Amino acid sequence: MPSFRMDVRVERILDEDTYEAVLDNVEEKETKFGERLMWTFRIPGEDNATVVGFTSKSYSTRAHAYQWASAIMGEIDPKKGWGPEDVIGKDCVLVVEIVQGEDGRIKNKILKVKPIA
């Protein structure tokens, strides 16, 4: 009989606050709202807790995707744009709040992504 071991991720709600974070991944995901970008941030100072946020795939400089990417990587050349390789593994600051999801569960929501000061 084959054997395997599963990692366990403890779901944890962080206090509403500001946290230094590392972007571990950004990927395209199909959601009930259409195709979106899923951003996975790790917070080393909180036992590597993770916070996930979603943004649209809008190209606008007013869109959250652009704002989050530019906070993480700095100025974005409009002619070159940006991609996951430009932001993954980089540090930033997250402003996090606590909200109630559609399913009634309490979760963290990313209010803002800011550059490291």
pLDDT tens track, the chain, 117 positions: 778 888 766 678 999 999 999 999 999 999 988 999 999 999 998 988 999 999 999 989 999 999 999 999 999 999 999 999 999 999 999 999 999 988 999 999 999 999 998
Instruction: Please state, in angstroms and rounded to a whole number, the distance separating the CA atoms of residues 41 and 89.
Output: 9
Query: Minimal CA–CA distance to 98: which of 89, 88, 108?
Result: 108
CATH number at residue 48: 2.40.50
Pairing of the two strands 49-55 and 91-100: unpaired
Domain that holds residue 29: 17-114
Number of domains in the chain: 1
Residue 89 lies in a domain: yes
Per-residue tokens: 59: 């190209």
Q: Which amino acid is at 73?
A: M
Q: What global pTM score does this model have?
A: 0.88
Residue 84 lies in a domain: yes
**Residue 72: its H or E element:** helix 64-73
